Structure 1
């Protein structure tokens, strides 16, 4: 895919940072020596870690050079490195691996999460938050529009572009990590974000979930896809009493602590 767009991503930074803060609040560590923000993006989540653990060594990792540049500009005293969560391995054991809204992009969670958990030092914590919205109208309609227009051949299988089948049910993550961990917490929360209109909802997902659908398209195809998609979003999300739309956004949270 093309590189990420930090400006587009941070257009809804308050809403995107809220689950990151709630994940960090449930991390049962007083003072980690080494914390990794895996998939740090523009550094909004890294800033939360730095505020809670000012004495820790904190490193942000991401596959996007543009996101890393944005994170370095925000937090110039911290380290940010190019790395892929699917293959990355640290030089030493870690006290905290914090992964907010990144692992949903990667396949094979039954292998991936135990591998990450195995990188922890004794007493270390793996903290994960992932959008769980593939059944929501935003993502169901992406796949529907992708399959029905002149752009269908360029996009290919909508299920592949839409990352269907990658995530487990919340209980599946518990079963995956409970045999390895001293303690595991798993929960699911549905946020309801106030959005100005259908165009705002499209702008939100254009920074994330729409990227695999739009990246293969030329300019005319992209414009046509977005117009068709926005019309369906407008019909799917009714205006509320104040004229705004409510974007339901479920997320799965996992906090697993290694035995000391």
Structure 2
């Protein structure tokens, strides 16, 4: 279960990659703009502000996120990325920090490129920090008992989750697109109690919490938080620097 309030606790930090991504989409008056993995809709709303004449389509797999987006006036719907297909008037497809949840997302990108009209845009951003200390520690504690029984097939547990920018460029170029790919490591300056734990609670830990009992979840937290504090110590001013690598792909169908 996704919690919009927890996710939005770092809305400013999470929003910046979205705007960096969209700055490379060069279209003036798209007919339909689709936000796949719209979350609570706070960023989707900016699409309507940028392109007021466009139909805004929004999709998310979480009913809680869709409900939060609808409260913002977004016409969002519950659905899976894997089963979505573009309508004929779709000119822009945006997905911000969502496609990493779809193991076959590289194939999805190829399919969408083949279904979209010439001149349409695909713009995606995915996290590239699955080998960061925070995520390695999530996996380390998940392998301990009694957690391992419930978390042995945890998503993001092992293996490659996302491709390199070069590989995304290759995939979409072969699919018939002009492609712009890059990566950025943001150094987020976090404050408050257990800030890195708070950050990943809104994303990577959602599945962990959902699978554990309340007592096991509290025990998991108690074991993970000190490890995160050691890996990401606060500075003297109380600020914790949290490096976060992200991968960006902008493609225009030829």
Superposed pair shares fold, TM > 0.5: yes
Structure 1 residues 31 and 196: alpha-carbon distance in aligned structure 2, compared to 1, 3 A threshold: same
* 2:77 aligned residue: 81
Over 3 Å counting, the alpha-carbon distance change for 1:196 and 1:22 in structure 2 is: same
Is this contact kept in 2: 1:21–1:48, CA < 8 A? Answer: no
Matched with 2:11 is 13
Q: Deviations over 1:165-223 (max 9, x none)?
A: 22111111011001223410000001111112561211110111012222211011100
Q: How far apart are the structure 2 equivalents of 1:238 and 1:64?
A: 33
Residue 202 of structure 1: which of 191, 197, 213 is its match?
197
Give 1:64's aligned residue.
Answer: 62
Q: What residue number does 2:248 align with?
A: 253
Q: Tell me, yes or no, if structure 1 residue 4 matches structure 2 residue 2.
A: yes
Of 103, 106, 118, the residue aligned with 1:107 is: 103
SS of the equivalent of 1:203 reads: helix
**How many angstroms apart in 1 are the aligned matches of 2:37 and 2:177?**
25
Structure 2: unaligned runs, 5 residues or longer: none
Structure 1 contact 162–212 (Cα < 8 Å) conserved: no
Q: Secondary structure at the match of 2:71?
A: helix
- In the TM superposition, residue 69 of structure 1 has moved relative to its aligned partner by 1.2
Does 2:217 align with 1:222?
yes
TM (normalized to structure 2)?
0.95
Separation (CA, whole Å) in 2 of partners of 1:252 and 1:164 = 17
* Distance apart, 1:112 and its partner CA: 1.7
TM-score by length of 1: 0.93
Runs of 4+ in structure 1 deviating by more than 4 angstroms, as ranges, are none
Aligned match for 1:133, one of 129, 145, 170: 129
Quote the residue 1:48 is aligned against: 46
> Does the aligned pair in 2 maintain the 1:34–1:96 contact within 8 Å?
yes
Q: Is the contact made by 1:195 and 1:245 (CA closer than 8 Å) also made in structure 2? A: yes
1:64-86 Cα distance to aligned partner (Å, 9 max, x none): 11111111111x2x421221111
Query: In the superposition, relative to structure 1, how do residues 142 and 43 fare at CA in structure 2: closer, same or farther (>3 Å)?
Result: same
Which structure 1 residue ranges, 5 or more long, are not aligned? none
Deviation at 1:93, TM superposition (A): 4.5
